[in-house]
Every structure is written in structure tokens, then in C-alpha cells.
Amino acid sequence: MTELWKLDATEVARRVHIGEVTAREVTLSALARLDAVNPRLNAVIQTMPEEALAAADAVDQSLARGEKPGLLAGVPVTVKVNVDQKGFATTNGLTLQAQHRAHEDSPVVANLRKAGAVIIGRTNTPAFSVRWFTSNNVHGATHNPRDKGLTPGGSSGGAASATAAGIGAIGHGTDIGGSVRYPAYACGIHGLRPTLGRIPAWNPSLPDRDIGPQLMAVSGPLARSIPDIRLALEAMSAPDPRDPWWVPAPLVGPEAPKRVALCVAPEGMKVVPAVEAALRDAAARLVEAGWQVEEVASVPPLREPARLQALLWLANLPRGGMEAVEREAEPTSLAVFRHMVELSSVPGLVEFQDALTARLGFLRAWNLFFERYPVVLVPVSGELPFPDHDDQSGLQRFTEIIEAQLVQVGLPLMGLPGLTVSTGLVGKTPVGVQLLAGRYREDLLLAAGEDIAALGTPPAPVDPDWD
């Protein structure tokens, strides 16, 4: 019999609903897997076995009463440590917030609970959730279960590492510059950045964020199968009046042509041969599945949106942001912020207003492009997953990394959705592709992603067997 921790969320929920297994049995299996592999990974930095088993028992009791326990009944999940979960510290990887305690759940955590999910642990993030690598002074470093020498990604590196290793079927992540999409890529799983307003999010214990992050930051799921991403999206996107950005958009939109634009090197970004090969392989899989794929030389702007994304993100530095970075004194994030300041000056009021105005034009251009090509196939990164802590190799290498991550950084300015689909391995190194679609058309991303994934080797839980 397959060990329960190996099952996808969709299968766990099915078995729990029909009474083939209990939520308690699934949770005990998940907790045992966590205990077995997390010491090597440090992906989960806080566990809650008693609370998890109580939640599982509640699901079982609900079923015994003939009630419907939710879409994710009994499914073990993890939650990133930068969102509020009642009774736990929202550290965001900071010693400055190590003693911080949330007194109520954020909307996304509340939605997971309402769906019957069982939270088994909180996952690591880099200090300030700012890097594509994961380490900090309060929780330490997280490792990639496939290769300790590779980054697990960031900032949802703990979520991706845990999910790839079978610690939970679904990982909650956040994305303002690739923080769901890139860790999924680095760890060889799938990850969805939904449209702004799709999944309600807010941290009751912290001040509201500046307008830049409000317009760009989202929560989203990571999983080992596309059906699990679909299921998680449905559960996580339930309404919550505490998030004014939430939009009651349908999960399935109007029928659209199965037409895809393949752009190997958006705006001339450098793409290594292995990444180009993955893109062409994914395109071939889509054609085999009945999609029309047309290669295009260009897509609407991403480079200028990436510049403006950084500008809006850094606007809080003169108003206490950089002071907090310096007080935290975490070396890797401090180096990154200093590099970012060199590459993107802090805006004045006029430049800030101009950036917000320009956002509208970029979104209009993408909307029009999606009219012709409902789905766009582009790189996740121009490079294969980076060596761990590669962003600490100086300004020149940091600049190269930023360039490789062009699509990661450019997309959030417009609030658009993106899906990372794992397509396989180059040796032992994961590789994948990114799909883009119009606002609230995650259904198109998932349809194309499922067809790509179906013609490859499905990601399976990985044992961290490196030295």
C-alpha cells in the first residue's frame, strides 16, 4: 500500500471523503515524513503536531456526522512564516519579529482551515522575504531536497523544499517577484502566482503595506500536481471581507481558443540552451495535446515593468525600510538590498506617480496581446536553478541574476497570473517553463499546464540523499 504522505492532495481528499482512510491517519503519516526528512532540509521551521491532529480529528468527526468537511478534507499543508497563523510568530525570517504573535488567522490561512486542510508546519523564508534563496538569522538556511548545492528558491523556499520532499501535499507561498514561481522551478514542482485579488490575503498583526506591494504581492499554492494546484486555488480563493482587493471572479472564464504564443527570449533576455530546450519540449507537448502554438519574437513589455516593480517596492526604504534592514543585520539580505539600491534609485513623488500611471499602459498592452494569444509560454528563468547563495557573489553576478529573472520580476507590476510547470530534469537539476494568461484566467494556465505535465514524468516526493 502506498504510504499516505506520498499521495497528492486530490487523492487524499477523495479517500478521506469516502472513508477509505481517516484524516488522522493521513496526518500521522505526514508528521512522520516531516520528522524523517526535515532535519536535513530545515524547510519547516515550526511544527504543531497536537494542533494538526486536533484539526484532523475535527475532519473525521465532521464526516461521521454526515457533514461536508471541505475541499481539502484531511490534506496536510504547510504555511509560510510570513503570514499570520493564530498563536504563532509571523517572523518573516526576522529576529526583529521572532517574538511576534498573531492573534487571528490571515484570510488565506482561514480559507485553508475552512476547506478542511490540516496545517502541519510553518515554512522558512529569507529575511524580509526578499531573495531567491532562503536563509535568515532566526531560522537558518533551507536546502533543496534534490541537490544541497542548488538554491531551494525564495522567498517561498521552505514551502517548495517541503512540498518537493513530501512534507505536505500543498505548500502556501507568496509572490511579489517570483517567490512562488521560482522556488517551484528550483525544486522541480509546480507553483501558481494568481491574479491580484484572486486569493484574499492580509496580516492582521502588522501594518498595511505600501501601495506598491499591495498592487503586486499575492499568496498562491505550490504542489506536485496540477490538479492539486487547481484544488488549492479553489479552496484558498474563498471570499474574505478583510481584503478589499479580493474580487469575486469566477474560477472558470469564457471559452477561449487553444492558442499559445511561445517566446523563448522575451525582450532579448539571455536564455541558456537547457531552458530553451525545455520551452520547445513544452510547446511540442501542447501541440500533441491539441493546442496551436505560434513562436513569436516579442511579447509586450517586461523590462520596464521590472524596473518599475523594483522602484515601487523600494519606495519604503527612506521611510524606515532600510533602517530595519540594517538593524536586522542579516548579511545576505543586507547585501541584496544594497545591490538593489545601486540598481534602482528610490523614487521621488513625481517618479512614483509616473510609475503607477505607466502600469495602466503595460496592463492594457498585455490585455490586447492575450486577445490574440490566450496563453503565453516563456521561461521561468533564463538559467537553470542557481547555485545556493549565488546572489552573494558581487554586484555583477547579482545583475546577471536579475536579468535571468526578468519574467519573474516584470509580471507582478501588472498583477497578472503566472504558472510554473515542472517539465523534468537536466541531469539532477530541475527545469520547467512558465505560462502567462490574462487577469483571472488561471483556468487557462491550469488547462495548458495540465497538458504539459501529463506528457512528462510527474514530480514525485524526493528523498534528500545528498551528502
Instruction: Tell me the pLDDT tens digit for each residue of 202-234.
Output: 999 999 999 999 999 999 999 999 999 999 999
pLDDT at residue 356 tops 70: yes
Residue 426 phi/psi, 5-degree rounding, is -110, 95
Active site residues: 80, 155, 179
**Three cell numbers, residue 172:** 502556501
- Alpha-carbon Rg for the chain, nearest whole angstrom, is 20
pLDDT in tens, 13-39: 999 999 999 999 999 999 999 999 999
Q: How confident is the model at residue 452 (pLDDT cuts 50, 70, 90)?
A: very high
CA angle, 217 then 388 then 131, to 5°: 20
pTM: 0.98
How many angstroms separate the CA atoms of 389 and 110, rounded? 34
Are 442 and 416 contacting, i.e. CB atoms less than 8 angstroms apart? no
Beta-carbon contacts of residue 319 (< 8 Å; ≥ 6 apart): none
What percent of the chain clears pLDDT 70, i.e. is strictly above it? 100
pLDDT at residue 314 tops 90: no
pLDDT at residue 142 tops 70: yes
**Three cell numbers, residue 447:** 488547462
Give me the pLDDT at residue 459, please.
87
User: Could you tell me which of 173, 97, 189, 167 has the C-alpha nearest to residue 134?
Assistant: 173
How many angstroms separate the CA atoms of 445 and 233, rounded? 12
Using the structure block, give the residue that is written with the C-alpha cell 513569436: 296
The length of the chain, given as a count of residues: 467
Are 16 and 55 contacting, i.e. CB atoms less than 8 angstroms apart? no
Which of the residue ranges 153-162, 275-284, 457-466 would you say has the lowest mean pLDDT?
457-466
pLDDT at residue 2 tops 90: no
What percent of the chain clears pLDDT 90, i.e. is strictly above it? 94
**Amino acid identity at 405:** Q
pLDDT at residue 467 tops 80: no
Give the residue ranges of DSSP H helices in 272-348.
273-288, 303-313, 321-328, 331-343
**Three cell numbers, residue 11:** 487523492
Q: How confident is the model at residue 423 (pLDDT cuts 50, 70, 90)?
A: very high
Mean pLDDT of the chain: 97
The DSSP secondary structure of 343-403, one letter per residue, reads HSPPP-HHHHHHHHHHHHHHHHHHHHHHHH-SEEEE-S-SSSSPBTTGGGS-HHHHHHHHH
Assign 3-state DSSP to the chain and report helix, strand, coil percentages, each to 5.
45, 15, 40
Which position has the higher pLDDT, 103 or 317? Answer: 103
Residue 334 phi/psi, 5-degree rounding, is -60, -45
pLDDT at residue 196 tops 90: yes
User: Could you tell me which of 326, 293, 109, 416 has the C-alpha nearest to residue 408?
Assistant: 416
Q: Is 131 helix (H, G, I), strand (E, B) or coil?
A: coil
Q: Judging by beta carbons within 10 Å of its beta carbon (0-12, 13-18, 19+), is residue 103 exposed, middle or buried?
A: exposed
| Architecture of the CATH domain 4-454 | Alpha-Beta Complex (3.90)
Q: Is 413 helix (H, G, I), strand (E, B) or coil?
A: helix
Q: How confident is the model at residue 465 (pLDDT cuts 50, 70, 90)?
A: confident
Residue 242 phi/psi, 5-degree rounding, is -75, -15
| Cα 178 from chain centre | 7
Give me the pLDDT at residue 466, please.
78
How many angstroms separate the CA atoms of 374 and 257, rounded? 7
Give me the pLDDT at residue 224, please.
98
Q: What is the mean pLDDT of residues 355-362?
A: 97
pLDDT at residue 115 tops 70: yes
**Three cell numbers, residue 430:** 530541475
pLDDT in tens, 268-279: 999 999 999 999
Give me the pLDDT at residue 458, please.
85
pLDDT at residue 1 tops 70: no
**Three cell numbers, residue 255:** 471559452
First-residue to last-residue Cα distance in the chain? 30
How many angstroms separate the CA atoms of 281 and 275, rounded? 10
Domain ranges of the chain: 4-454
Give me the pLDDT at residue 431, please.
98
How many angstroms separate the CA atoms of 354 and 117, rounded? 43
Which residue spans within 152-291 are E strands per DSSP?
A: 170-175, 190-193, 218-223, 259-262
How many angstroms separate the CA atoms of 449 and 455, rounded? 10
